[in-house]
Amino acid sequence: MQFLSIPGQAKEKKQLVTQVDQDRVPHAQILLGRPGSPKLAIALAYACYILCLDRKNGDACGVCKSCLKSMQYKHPDLHFAFPVISKEGKKREDTTSQDFLDKWRLAVAENPYMDLQAWSQYIGAEKSQPNINTRECNDMIKQLGMRSFESPYKIQIIWLPEYLGKEGNRLLKMIEEPTDNTFIILVAENQERILNTVISRCQLTKISPVSDEDAKEYISSRNPSINPEILSQAVQMSDGDLHKAMSIALGSSVDYSELLLSWMRLSYKRDFSELNNWITMLNSKGREDIKHFIEYAMSFMREYAFFLQTEDVSRLSESQQATAKNMTKIMDMLKVESVAKLLQEALRDIMRNVNPRICLMAKSIELGDILRSKDQVKSLYDM
Ligand SMILES: [Zn+2]
């Protein structure tokens, strides 16, 4: 991984590169960022840069002997620890990241922005909670106590140290007094779930979420045929979570903006036969798409409220601008609040496995009532 393949984050990249260039890399540090932020990608690029034999313009060269290994996550001096479950035929206490290294390499190459949920699916851990166990900690300590193989440096990346739990205590000495030229990089998303004794021994760097513009550019450069409207909806819904934006943009062929407009129109008209068809259509796409549709509607309501208060359309796509302008005829701030609450309830129901047809029909009737209340309405029919 090179820094140049990671969208945005200019400040963070510069800070890390300067540390290496000035030979001031801290022995232990935490890269902290929300799920879907590029913290793991940055840790990988940073490790690659440290190990590179021919650093150029603030980035790893990408072609030296060392880079070729780092970029396949196979450098003998670059070690990984991450949450796992027991491997088939092995006890959990005997299983470590080493047993899942091949899968890890594939998963990271495919998507360095993945979250724990995606990783859990990847290793078939839907039913058990992955974690980092005692054996793993002991192996790390042993590994880092040995001499390096090829580079003068040894690097240990620990992805999601939140899942160390109390085992983190075992690593304190290693973090506090590592052997020479050893760098420990914790890649974390929730500071509160890491032992204070660990945090206090590490230098902390916060990694910001990806901006909407950077996310759009990143996804479209990798998927040139993607529909720009769907891409922009997916990015808006994801609030800086690149993993989520990608999975929505690539996994869905649904134009949520169209879908939202037709839902509001049919609910307002109380056209139950058409509403029924609409629900059947959405339901056929599966629970995940229903959830995404509701999340889209929620994000649209937030942007619409912003537009109502400021008349600033810059955060809306072209088709959303048209929808928003039409909606001013029937929806004021009070109604936005009621609809937002309705959507929150719908999302909660869908996540709790309530029958989607029943939930959507009930919410459609409620939506119709909200839209018709205190009729300031001209007409929705010409939307
Ligand atoms: Zn290189």
Burial of 372 (0-12, 13-18, 19+ CB in 10 A): middle
Q: CA 151 to CA 181: how far, in whole Å?
A: 10
- Contacts of residue 365, Cβ cutoff 8 Å, sequence gap at least 6: 267, 270
Count CA atoms closer than 13 A to 340's CA, side-chain side: 14
- Distances from the Cα of 136 to the Cα of 53, 109, 194, 314, angstroms: 30, 23, 17, 49
CA separation for the pair 339, 318 (Å, rounded): 23
Q: State residue 128's pLDDT score.
A: 86
Exposed, middle or buried by CB within 10 Å (0-12, 13-18, 19+), for 99? Answer: middle
For 150-181, the pLDDT digits (tens) are 999 999 999 999 999 889 999 999 998 888 89
Structure tokens at 284: 């056929």
C-beta of residue 155 within 8 angstroms of C-beta of residue 77: yes
DSSP state of 86: P
**CA 50–ligand 1 middle distance (angstroms):** 9
Q: How far away, in angstroms, is 4 Cα from ligand 1 center?
A: 13
Phi, psi of 186 (to 5 degrees): -95, 130
Q: What is the pLDDT of residue 143?
A: 93
What is the Å distance from ligand 1's center to 329 Cα?
Answer: 60
HSE-CB at 289 with a 13 A cutoff on CA atoms is 19
Find the 61 Cα to ligand 1 centroid distance in Å: 4
Distances in Å between the Cα of 43 and the Cα atoms of 39, 102, 158 are 6, 19, 10
pLDDT at residue 321 above 90? no
For residue range 41-91, list pLDDT tens digits in order. Answer: 999 999 999 999 999 999 999 999 999 999 999 999 999 999 999 998 999
Q: Which residue has the higher pLDDT, 256 or 106?
A: 106
| Cα 113 to averaged position of ligand 1 atoms, centre (Å) | 23
Q: Which among 199, 226, 231, 204 is positioned nearest to 215, based on CA atoms?
A: 231
Give me 134's structure tokens: 């005692």
pLDDT greater at residue 206 or residue 165 = 206
Protein residues near ligand 1, an ion, with CB under 5 A: 52, 54, 60-61, 64, 67
Tokens matching residue 331: 């929806």
Place of tokens 């690539």: 250
Residue 154 alpha carbon to ligand 1 centre in Å:
16
**Mean pLDDT, range 136-148, rounded to an integer:** 94
* Nearest in space to 9 (alpha carbons), one of 303, 218, 161: 218
Provide the 3-class DSSP secondary structure of residue 131.
strand
Dist. CA 66 → ligand 1 center (Å): 6
**Does 135 score more than 80 pLDDT?**
yes
CA 53 – CA 326 distance, rounded (Å): 59
Mean pLDDT of 256-261: 85
* Cα–Cα dist 298/86, whole Å: 39
- The pLDDT of residue 252: 67
Q: Give the pLDDT mean for 366-374.
A: 90
Question: In whole angstroms, what is the distance from residue 40 CA to residue 63 CA?
Answer: 21
Ligand 1: centre distance to CA 47 (Å)? 11
Rounded to 5 degrees, φ, ψ at 3 are: -60, -35
- Tell me, what's the pLDDT at 365? 96
pLDDT of 207 = 96
CA 324 to CA 305: how far, in whole Å?
10
Distance from Cα 140 to the centre of ligand 1, integer Å: 25
Q: How far is the CA of 214 from the centre of ligand 1 (A)?
A: 26
**Residue 350 pLDDT exceeds 70:** yes
Domain annotation for the chain: domains and CATH numbers: 3-208 (3.40.50.300), 254-375 (1.20.272)
pLDDT at 126 over 80: no
Q: Residues with Cβ < 8 Å from 110, sequence gap 6 or more?
A: none
pLDDT tens digits, 104-116: 999 999 899 999 9
Q: Number of C-alpha atoms within 13 angstroms, CB side, residue 154? A: 18
CB 312 within 8 A of CB 329: no
Residue 259 CA to ligand 1 center (angstroms) comes to 48
269 alpha carbon – ligand 1 mean position (Å): 63
Give me the pLDDT at residue 375, please.
54
- Ligand 1 centre distance from Cα of residue 26 (Å): 21
Question: Ligand 1 centre from 53 Cα, in Å?
Answer: 5
Is 379 a residue whose pLDDT tops 90? no
Confidence of residue 224 (pLDDT cuts 50, 70, 90): confident
Q: If you measure from the C-alpha of residue 344 to the centroid of ligand 1, how many angstroms do you get, rounded to a whole number?
A: 49
Ligand 1 centroid distance, CA of 46 (Å): 12
**Average pLDDT rounded to a whole number, residues 239-263:** 84
Helix runs in the chain, H state only = 10-21, 39-51, 65-70, 101-110, 116-122, 134-145, 172-176, 196-199, 212-222, 228-238, 242-251, 256-269, 272-284, 287-310, 318-327, 333-351, 356-372
